[in-house]
Amino acid sequence: MPESILPLSFYSDYDTRTLAEKLLGCELVHESPDGITSGIIVETEAYLSDDPACHAYNRRTTRTEPMYGVAGTSYVYLIYGMYECFNVVSNKEGIGEAVLIRALQPVQGIEIMEMRRQLIPGRSAEKLRTKPLKLSDLCKGPGNLARAMGIQRSVHNNTLLNTKTLYIKERAVQNLDVATSKRIGINVGVDLLYRFYIKDSIFASKL
């Protein structure tokens, strides 16, 4: 069977909300120096150019410039000074839309993910986790996901997702039961149903 890395055309074939839904069930893969880690995408959020919650809404700045790139570009940003969030840029070059990847069902490199999640950000230095993390919490939430996957702004921001290092593989299963909801953690555009998740997945960050 052929390698199933999504081509860049996949990211421009759909509007951003459709892409957010289509990415569910696909496998995000990072082939890092530490080893390969991957997981099935179970939760996403769409951010549109006419949407006040979107970083690129009426703003084309240093930070948001990757969002204006070609579909299939990565946008990794720092949030609250300590977590990174991974997005896939969508729509046409110059528009400024993206899909936030919010949670994964871990597949490959689970031990590597557990190692990466050992240090707890925000505590006084060298603070380590005492209790073991549940598998269902490893890649739950955008900050935890990026951390577990070893995705860093300094390395992966504004790169194309068709490389052999960081990419997404096509959905292996059909007929996913997809649910929609309001997005999490925003203060504007709060009523838009732009969050998508696999119904009943224990790996999604919230019901």
Partner DNA sequence: AAATCGATTGCT
Partner DNA sequence: GCAATCGATTTG
| Binding residues vs DNA (CB under 7 A) | 45, 47, 53-56, 59, 61-64, 67, 75, 78-83, 85, 87, 98, 100, 117, 120-124, 129, 137, 140-145, 183-187, 205
Nearer to DNA, 160 or 184 (CB): 184
112 touches 37 (CB < 8 A): yes
Least gap, CB of 93 to DNA (angstroms)? 16
d(CA 6, CA 169): 5
Nearer to DNA, 93 or 172 (CB): 93
Helix (H) or strand (E) holding 155: helix 153-156
Least gap, CB of 88 to DNA (angstroms)? 10
d(CA 43, CA 205): 8
Beta strands 178-181 and 195-198 are: antiparallel
d(CA 126, CA 42): 31
Least gap, CB of 3 to DNA (angstroms)? 28
Nearer to DNA, 11 or 47 (CB): 47
Least gap, CB of 183 to DNA (angstroms)? 7
Nearer to DNA, 157 or 174 (CB): 157
Least gap, CB of 203 to DNA (angstroms)? 12
Nearer to DNA, 120 or 172 (CB): 120
| Residue 83 DSSP SS3 | strand
Q: Exposed/middle/buried for 83, CB within 10 Å: 0-12, 13-18, 19+?
A: middle
